[in-house]
Amino acid sequence: MSKPRVIVTRRWHPEVEAVLTEKFDTQLNPDDHSMSVEELQDALRKADAVLPTVCDKVNAEVLGTDNIRAKILGSNGVGFNHIDLEAAKAAGLTVTNTPEVLTDCTADLALTLLLMVARRAGEGERHLRNGEWTGWRPTHMMGTSVSGKTLGLIGMGRIARAVAARAANGFNMKIVFHDPFPPMAEDLAGLNATQCDSPQEVFEQSDFVSLHCPGGKDTYHLIGAEAFSAMKSGAFLINTARGDVVDEAALVAALQAGEIAGAGLDVFEKEPAVSEGLLKMENVVLLPHLGSATQETRKAMGMRVVENVEAFFNGETPRDKLV
């Protein structure tokens, strides 16, 4: 019996690529280029499974191509707003993602951003590397303390709870959160967390606001001018969720007007493009979507895709099936 034909849209962890090559008739992407609409459509016509990543826009145009052979999209990443799920379903495709395995890694990065922007770490390193540092002095580059402050979370899923655990247990932070689908009480044990009735309530109380909600039409520009107006002038925004949750133009305006104190961002509304205003600000920490970027996590994510695709072709329901 021939192996299922699999096309991988980007380079993956080398150990995962080796497993894919062993288990399937696999076509890799040797030069790691970003596939065009036409290339993605061609992949859907030629493969039994297409394995995209969160940087591939598998939209209605891509999925509307004729003569689709593929039966499954095994996406590498927990987010899925890059895939039009309704169009995928209409095309007869199963779609899977990779939850759970990147929880701790992404939570670590959220705290990295929070600490960096509060303590002016990025600004400080640039200051030193540029040869501008003249020595210690009492008023030099004073930042904001983190310990004992209030952390507001928008969304309270796995990653948010991991952030809350680090913040509460490591920095004695008070946790407030809003989630339209809140977790069970036992999942909040030990987090010193208070549920709020609205995002507005979170904004008003928090010294740091960290975003952990999914992207897509339901949360598009959830954080905009109204949200920034409700935040404390000394508050910081942290985003390791999805870029389109934040109205980036409104964020730039709020920072320029001093409505909030700063931001730590790992994702962007039109990435890889970043607003010029953000690039010019010293009170903003910018990272290139590194939330899951460790050797261990990227390998685990890839292997989760392998598991899902293998289950599908064995006639089983993949455990991470979205549609």
Residue 13 designated active-site:
no
Strands 72-74 and 49-51, how do they pair? parallel
Residue 289 designated active-site:
yes
Instruction: Using the Cα atoms of residue 220, residue 226, residue 230 and residue 234 in order, give the sign of their dihedral.
Output: positive
Instruction: Out of 100, 204, 271, 307, pick the active-site residue.
Output: 271
Amino acid at 88: A
Instruction: Out of 120, 166, 289, 298, pick the active-site residue.
Output: 289
Amino acid at 231: M
The order of strands in the sheet holding 150-154 is 193-195, 174-178, 150-154, 208-211, 236-239, 262-265, 284-286
Token digits of residue 320 = 């991470």
Please choose, from the candidates 236, 193, 202, the residue with its C-alpha nearest in 3D space to the C-alpha of residue 222.
202
Residue 271 designated active-site:
yes
Calpha distance 221→247 (Å, rounded): 5
Instruction: Out of 158, 242, 298, 304, pick the active-site residue.
Output: 242
The residues annotated with a catalytic role in the active site are: 242, 271, 289
